[in-house]
Structure 1
Amino acid sequence: MASVSRVLQSEWTKIRSVRSTLWTLAAALVVTIALSALICVFTKSEFDDMPVRDRMTFDPTYTSFAGMGLGQLAMIAFGVLVVSAEYNTGMIRSSLAAVPQRGTFLWCKVLVAGLLVLVVGMVTSFLTFFIGQALLGDHGASLGDTGVLRAVFGGGLYMALIALFAMGATFVLRSPMLAFGILMPFFFLISNILGGVSATKKVAQYLPDQAGTTVMSVVPETLDRPYGPWAGLLIMVAWAVVALVAGFFVLKKRDA
């Protein structure tokens, strides 16, 4: 039976040795911060011209995370690459030969990658918040304000969960092209379209990205959801768990 500590070390070595995975994490951080900062600059310059109702319900915390919608795509790319790289190169056969316990193999990969994206997600979330609030100036919020610390921590958790969801989906799909071809359009286009159409809006509210981002809002009027921030995060957790469990069963039942 393979030693868990050795499997963990092996998975960490795999992630470090594939440059594309590390670049996607760097892209998630840079894109999120840069786009969020730009939106905060524009928001501050146009704040006085906003309708009174929008100014009264303005959520500076959620505004500072405006770039996370694009940054999450880099996290999805990381999740896809961490899993699909082995299928793409055929290394999966060697990995499973070295670690025949497929559950051990999968959960060690998830643990190592999950801790890494959690750290990157938290750093990204806190930096995005502090830079965004500095740019918003007098319209900004403080970390000590009600609900703000929860929202900032939630932002980091959301980015980690979206990567784990992508990992689970890729274990099911096994093909990098198929995983990218489904996940990227879904989160970048389809989810937003479904959320903007009245006929599908109620269903779209329970999609992973729309539910998960609720945890980053502080002002209730910011998002029209039938559940609160923590419930939204739990929905996102459920999506990630289902994807990973499905990935485990596919890995266990199918040949490499």
Structure 2
Amino acid sequence: MVVVQVVRSEWTKIRSVASTVWTLSLAVVVTVALGMLISALSRHQFDRMPAQERGSFDPTFISFAGMTLGQLAMIVFGVLVVSNEYSTGMIRTSLAAVPQRATFLFSKIAVATGLALAVGMVTSFAAFFLGQAMLGSHGTDIGETGVLRAVIGGGLYMTLIAMFSMGVAAMLRSPMLSLGILMPFFFLISNILGNVDATKKIGRFLPDQAGSRIMQVIPRVGDDTPYGPWGGLGIMLLWVIAVIAGGYALLKQRDA
């Protein structure tokens, strides 16, 4: 009964904060709009692509091109859900009302994860269908092998990005510090490590690099990644479990 009440309380907190609603809305709009734009450009450039690129052209993955910016909004959402109470000082009141810190943290994460999953799935399916419409004859069908898995995986990927951000925010407590680490990590460090030959073997095991594998249907030419789509998502899940466990361990040890 206590858990149910805490879950309801966390739901009220999330839906009553305008910034979290706006970030989720932005995740949908940016992901879908950019995916449509890149898909339309790809259709016009398809005939001018080298034969090798046309052979490995992945219309499903192209429709998810907006995920790069869409995940930015999911990162902000995940950070705000956890760290907003720290920045306002409301964390003392929350922990006084719910002294069981496991109940407090995991109820918050569960509610936010459910919301992120719903938004992620809607975003992924919308991005796919509208992206394929932009690709026209170069598109694919959701009934093709691996496509449905990739679309569902897109929603799961966005959800795990949000959960990873929640775990980091639980450890750091500060929204500015959390965003100051997560933004460069996902948009600079991860891309560098994943694309430089000397560090590529390390970079492919980072959460976003591994997790995005689930959205690919046609492997890139010369791709020697040692895991498949679900393996990559599994690696990302391990990262998420690790940071959330770290956040809980620190929450237990320190004062609000």
- The one-letter code sitting in structure 2 at the alignment partner of 1:214 is R
CA distance, structure 2, for counterparts of residue 79 and residue 150 of structure 1: 24
TM-score (norm 1): 0.98
CA distance, structure 2, for counterparts of residue 47 and residue 144 of structure 1: 23
Matches within 5 A, 1:227-246: 227-246=227-246
- Corresponding residue number in structure 2 for 1:22: 21
Aligned residues: 255
Q: Does 2:255 align with 1:255?
A: yes
CA distance, structure 1, for counterparts of residue 35 and residue 239 of structure 2: 26
Flag structure 2 segments of 5+ consecutive residues without an equivalent. none
CA distance, structure 2, for counterparts of residue 84 and residue 132 of structure 1: 35
Matches within 5 A, 1:16-165: 16-165=15-164
Query: Identity of paired residues, percent?
Result: 64
DSSP-derived class of the 1:220 partner: coil
Q: Report the alpha carbon displacement of residue 57 of structure 1 after superposing the two structures with TM.
A: 1.2
CA distance, structure 2, for counterparts of residue 3 and residue 196 of structure 1: 48
CA distance, structure 2, for counterparts of residue 36 and residue 70 of structure 1: 10
DSSP-derived class of the 2:25 partner: helix
Q: Report the alpha carbon displacement of residue 221 of structure 1 after superposing the two structures with TM.
A: 2.3
C-alpha RMSD of matched pairs (Å): 0.9
TM-score (norm 2): 0.98
CA distance, structure 1, for counterparts of residue 203 and residue 46 of structure 2: 30
Cα offsets for 1:105-142 (capped at 9, x unmatched): 01100110000000000000000000000110010010
Matches within 5 A, 1:207-222: 207-221=206-220
- Corresponding residue number in structure 2 for 1:172: 171
- Corresponding residue number in structure 2 for 1:226: 226
Flag structure 1 segments of 5+ consecutive residues without an equivalent. none
CA distance, structure 2, for counterparts of residue 16 and residue 122 of structure 1: 19
Stretch moving more, 138-147 or 217-226? 217-226
Cα offsets for 1:48-101 (capped at 9, x unmatched): 000011111110000110110110010000000001110000100000000000
- The one-letter code sitting in structure 1 at the alignment partner of 2:245 is V
